[in-house]
Structure 1
Amino acid sequence: MDKPHIRIAVKEDLPSIVDIYNEAVLNSVATFDTVPRTLEQQEQWFEQHGEAYPVIVAEQDGNVIGWASVNRYSDRLAYAQTAELSLYIKDGHRGKGLGKRMLERMLAEGKAAGLHTVLSRITEGNDNSIHLHRLFGFDTVGTMRQVGTKFGRLLDVVLMQKIL
């Protein structure tokens, strides 16, 4: 088995990106989406990114096993250099250091794209994600109390920020 290779995503990666994301939608609180996304929705999402908001994938033995993106934080132009991070790893590939490699690459891509600030919203209890962000210099800037309901529970969200 080859070591995962991290690269810029292409449109052909979208079916795998959708599968990985929808697994998180259905089985975790990593996203507050509650309905799986369609390939068409993800194509529209991908088209909104471009060079200003990169999307990367981790590929191993020809299969996409993770993806990350920096997403437009707001449509207000004053926020153009601020993005929100998304990072998802396929079940069975977590806990092996891939998240560190992907986050490092995503931050480098974001900086190269001209971003100044990256934000992450992390659901309460996701201590591994909070720890990973801290390793890369993210600071906790607040906790939003009971802002989302998933699986019948009201959940807090930790807001973290890194200046690139």
Structure 2
Amino acid sequence: MNIRQAVAADLPSILDIYNDAVLHTVVTFDTVPRTMEQQEQWFEQHGKSYPVLVAEDNGLVTGWASLNRYSDRLAYARTAELSLYIRDGYRGHGLGKTMLEAILREGKTAGLHTVLSRITEGNDNSIHIHRVFGFEMVGTMREVGFKFGRLLDVVLMQKML
């Protein structure tokens, strides 16, 4: 397994993994799959300050992680929001932990100060992994999302780098 900086050629794989999550899970509150054009715009918003990593196994992108701009207001420039997605069939084998460790290291190197993570209720594995890496629960947003016919809470976790 190789973890490296994402490049534009990885976007189809990143999009495939993300859209699978859109259609089959509540880990994202997007309800309509993204287009390649949207994914390209997303990628262009990153760079050295907001890294994107991929995990690759024998040429197949098996997961990706990014630190995303939290807000376009300049006072938030050192705050990022975490995204982490693992390809179906590769979950539950420690890749998420490996990716989380790598993206946090990249965020610190990039000069970020704090990382936020919004986790949908019931995703106990994700909450556990975040705690292992020093994230603290800072609140719960009640019934802020509606997906697959139900209202969902979101836990907000934070880590200072």
Q: Taking structure 2 as the reference length, what is the TM-score of the superposition?
A: 1.00
Give the structure 1 partner of residue 69 of structure 2: 72
**In the TM superposition, what whole-angstrom CA distance separates every residue of 1:139-161 from its partner, at most 9, and x where no partner exists?**
00000000000001000000000
| Counterpart amino acid of residue 149 in structure 2 | G
Secondary structure in 2 matching 1:7: strand
User: Which of 42, 45, 64 is equivalent to 1:48?
Assistant: 45
Secondary structure in 1 matching 2:50: coil
**In the TM superposition, what whole-angstrom CA distance separates every residue of 1:96-134 from its partner, at most 9, and x where no partner exists?**
000010000000000000100000000000000000000
Secondary structure in 2 matching 1:29: coil
Deviation at 1:47, TM superposition (A): 0.4
Deviation at 1:23, TM superposition (A): 0.2
1:140 matched to 2:137: yes
CA distance in structure 1 between the partners assigned to 2:95 and 2:43 by the alignment: 22
1:97 matched to 2:94: yes
Give the structure 2 partner of residue 17 of structure 1: 14
Give the structure 2 partner of residue 161 of structure 1: 158
Deviation at 1:65, TM superposition (A): 0.6
Q: How many residues align?
A: 161
Q: Taking structure 1 as the reference length, what is the TM-score of the superposition?
A: 0.98
Structure 2 runs not aligned, ≥5 long? none
What percentage of aligned pairs have identical amino acids?
Answer: 78
CA distance in structure 1 between the partners assigned to 2:150 and 2:125 by the alignment: 20
1:34 matched to 2:31: yes
Give the structure 1 partner of residue 60 of structure 2: 63
